[in-house]
Amino acid sequence: MYDMRKIRNHIYGPIRSRRLGNSLGVDMVPHKTCSLDCVYCECGATTVHTIERREYIDTDAVINEIDGYLSDSPPPGCVTFGGSGEPTLHSGLGRIIKHLKERFPSQKLALLTNSTLLGDRGLREEILPCDLILPSLDAVTDKVFREINAPVAGIDCAGIINALTALSAEYRGQMWLEVFIAPGINDSDSDVVLFKEAIARINPARVQLNSLARKGTRETLAPAPIELLEGIARRLEPLPVEIVAMMK
Q: What is the pLDDT of residue 215?
A: 66
Report the first-to-last Cα separation within the chain, whole angstroms.
38
Quick check: 26 pLDDT over 90? yes
Span 56-85, mean pLDDT?
A: 94
Q: What is the pLDDT of residue 9?
A: 86
pLDDT band at 217 (very low <50, low <70, confident <90, very high): low
The C-alpha atoms of residue 115 and residue 199 are separated, in whole angstroms, by: 14
Query: Could you list the residue range(s) of the whole structural domain that residue 204 is in?
Result: 11-243
Instruction: Say which CATH number the domain at 15 has.
Output: 3.20.20.70
Q: Is 107 helix (H, G, I), strand (E, B) or coil?
A: coil
> Quick check: is 2 in a domain?
no
The DSSP result for 213-241, as a single string, is -S--S-TT--PPPHHHHHHHHHHHTTS-E
> Quick check: is 80 in a domain?
yes
The C-alpha atoms of residue 159 and residue 171 are separated, in whole angstroms, by: 18
> Quick check: is 248 in a domain?
no
Specify the number of domains making up the chain.
1
Q: What is the pLDDT of residue 57?
A: 94
> Quick check: is 4 in a domain?
no
> Quick check: is 5 in a domain?
no
The pLDDT tens digits for 103-156 are 999 999 999 999 999 999 999 999 999 999 999 999 999 999 999 999 999 999
The verdict on pTM exceeding 0.75 is: yes
> Quick check: is 6 in a domain?
no
The pLDDT tens digits for 163-175 are 999 999 999 999 9
Q: What is the pLDDT of residue 1?
A: 36
Distances (CA, A) of 64 to 10, 23, 71, 99: 10, 18, 10, 11
| DSSP 8-state secondary structure symbol assigned to residue 132 | E
Q: Is 28 helix (H, G, I), strand (E, B) or coil?
A: coil
> Quick check: is 1 in a domain?
no
